[in-house]
Structure 1
Amino acid sequence: MAAIVLVHGIAQEYRSAHTLEEEWVPRLARGVKAAGFPEVADRLWKYRHTRRGIDARMAFYGDLLRRHPSQSEMIDEDIQHEVTARIGREWLDRAAVRGSVPPERQRAAREIARLEGGPGETGRTVVLSPTCGLAGLRWFAADGPGSAGGFVNKALTQLTRYLTDDQTRNRVLDRVGAEIGFDTKVVIGHSLGAVVAYELAHRLRRPLPLLITLGSPLGPDTVVDSWVRPQPAQPPAFVENWVNLADRDDLVAADPTLARMFPVPTEGGPVLRGGYTGEHGAEPHKACFYLQRREIGRSVGLAFGV
């Protein structure tokens, strides 16, 4: 089993484990080196195929989130629509409150006002979905002006499907869980993958030295928090250290302060560290943006440093 298990997030269904590893691992090595652990960085990337190397593997599950016409899953679409709308509204609220670019905060505030149903030019009440408001934000259009709506819909649909469809959830957990073994020292989950990694950590019956969650939608007083398992949300008992990092412009990510999420320390539980990134990126939700951060590199470097 791999020493580092990587768990990707939303909108990766047409990728593969290999292509994602080729993107993630060198960025992680760069962050480790920047944090002052050049030997560990070399073992991650330069010597990865040698006996000295640190094996880092992507636990790929994206194909399980593709909808096939032949599937006969029993899904409560009313619940899915409700959860999707509530999550979308949370993303808009974050954009209006904590975004680093004032024009984007103002745009999000205007979209919230429209969403709450002010009268239109005809005098009739206009009711919009949060998806419409989110698609108007520059943050979601990193791949071009026409990309925002598609990404928003896909992101919300996949996150909601995982949370509300037991069949999908169990498939994903079984697939990713098969990659975590006795040799695994670090699990890194991004976006929806952070939720997957968190839930899998609760299934462990042996110590996991380090859990890292990046751009995680799991947080205090969020819709996602009320749907994760087990309930109530609590730190995984066998995790020794948990680091949770988010960027203020990452609208998918909830408040990363783990002490707020779990205010009562569990005896023998993990050391919890969480916070916001110290610098902003053009694509704040991208996994590669997070993996290069020194905060993450230091934690990984300490996990493998002598």
Structure 2
Amino acid sequence: MQSRLVFVHGIGGPRDPVRELTAWTGALAAGMREAGHSAAARELLSGGPPDRHVFVHYADLFGRAQAQGGDAPDTAGDAESEILAGLLVAWVEGLSEENTGEDDRRILEDARAQAEPRPQEQGGLAVVRRALNVATTVLSLKPWGAAARYVTPKVMVSHLSQVARYLARKEPDAHGTSLDGRIRARVAEAIGDGPAVVVAHSLGSVVALETLHHLTSPVPLFVTLGSPIATRTVVWPRLLPQPPGVPENVGAWLNFWDRDDIIAVRPRLERELRPSRAGVTPTSRRVDSDGVWVHSAEKYLAHPAVAGPVAEALAASGAGRAGGGA
């Protein structure tokens, strides 16, 4: 049976699913060609049966009222504020491990001091203000200073707040289903009865991991890009189920990270997750992309190290008639 290709997006604002699917498949096809899988790239772009390739869209579920200007999150609840505060500290500490230059250390020390909670702080707005200060300081680092054209401190904090809101597991709808539950339901629907090759980016890697634990449909390959799963003090202890491990239906898991990815701190997942009963563990691989904002899913997908294994997995399951060739 042919594997469906399921894309799961990460942090960010509402998007057009049709346009995103076109962009993601286009980037992946470019990477496949560079990896020597031209026939698989043509197959990917050829259309084919409905829903063979699916882009799971859930950003609209974050559509809570925004602060004036639409760039920053509104006042957070207590649980969300606590998680956001923890994310700030973990984010800066993770960046400190990867940046050893004297100037970088000084800037990150300032950011670390700004990230520390203050006894006199009260309410979510205080946490948001602190987060904006930290993001402003971090974005002054090379190479991310130039990223201000793509992501401002307000946008960065708004994105981090989505991680906090998902992990807070609150905001029930009229049926009592929490925000994180509604998001996972969309991913589960897209994967269906399988088999499926699942490619998840950023926060989407957390969503997909938790969703796969509740499914029995086979996943020959699970690919995570720029993942925050191994953020040990904040994300990892809040994953469900505990202790975190590889879903039993996953045949292989490849995790890709870029050293210049400002979101993917502590990226080596195999150190943090239990193997499945079949012995499957994540395999983390570093990639290096050009540009100043490498957290983009399309940057990752266009890399041959990412696209090659996806082409091979699709071909092996019968989704592609050929895995290589010109």
TM-score interval, smaller chain = 0.7 to 0.9
User: Residue 7 of structure 1 aligns with which residue?
Assistant: 8
Gaps of 5+ in 1: 70-74, 119-126
Give, in angstroms, the shift of residue 183 of structure 1: 4.2
Q: 1:29 to 1:232 in 2, by over 3 A?
A: same
Give, in angstroms, the shift of residue 259 of structure 1: 2.1
Deviation digits for residues 286-306 of structure 1 (CA, Å, limit 9, x no counterpart): 111111122211211111235
User: Residue 64 of structure 2 aligns with which residue?
Assistant: 67
Distance 2:193 2:277 in 1: 24
The aligned runs of 1:111-260 (5 Å cut-off) are 111-115=111-115, 129-136=130-137, 137-138=139-140, 139=144, 142-144=147-149, 147-166=151-170, 167-219=178-230, 221-260=232-271
Distance 1:3 1:298 in 2: 17
Contact 1:9 1:192 in 2 (8 A): yes
Gaps of 5+ in 2: 67-74, 119-126, 171-177, 316-321
Q: 1:215 to 1:280 in 2, by over 3 A?
A: same
Distance 1:100 1:25 in 2: 36
Corresponding residue SS for 1:208:
coil
Contact 1:239 1:269 in 2 (8 A): no
Matched, 1:294 2:304: yes
Give, in angstroms, the shift of residue 277 of structure 1: 1.6
Deviation digits for residues 59-81 of structure 1 (CA, Å, limit 9, x no counterpart): 10110011059xxxxx9812211
User: Residue 56 of structure 1 aligns with which residue?
Assistant: 53
Q: 1:130 to 1:141 in 2, by over 3 A?
A: farther
Give, in angstroms, the shift of residue 115 of structure 1: 4.5
Give, in angstroms, the shift of residue 223 of structure 1: 0.7
The more displaced of 244-253 and 227-236 is: 244-253
User: Residue 70 of structure 2 aligns with which residue?
Assistant: none
Give, in angstroms, the shift of residue 250 of structure 1: 1.6
- Letter paired with 1:250: D
Distance 1:265 1:170 in 2: 25
Percent identity over paired residues: 30
Q: 1:54 to 1:68 in 2, by over 3 A?
A: closer
Distance 1:231 1:205 in 2: 18
- Letter paired with 1:158: Q
Q: 1:60 to 1:184 in 2, by over 3 A?
A: farther
User: How large is the Cα RMSD of the aligned pairs?
Assistant: 2.9
Distance 2:32 2:99 in 1: 28
Q: 1:294 to 1:100 in 2, by over 3 A?
A: farther
Corresponding residue SS for 1:273:
strand
Q: 1:283 to 1:28 in 2, by over 3 A?
A: same
Work out the number of aligned pairs and report it.
287
Distance 1:39 1:100 in 2: 43
Q: 1:116 to 1:68 in 2, by over 3 A?
A: closer
Distance 1:140 1:226 in 2: 31
User: Residue 36 of structure 2 aligns with which residue?
Assistant: 36
Distance 1:140 1:86 in 2: 23
Give, in angstroms, the shift of residue 96 of structure 1: 2.6
Contact 1:212 1:242 in 2 (8 A): yes
User: Residue 80 of structure 1 aligns with which residue?
Assistant: 80
- Letter paired with 1:10: I
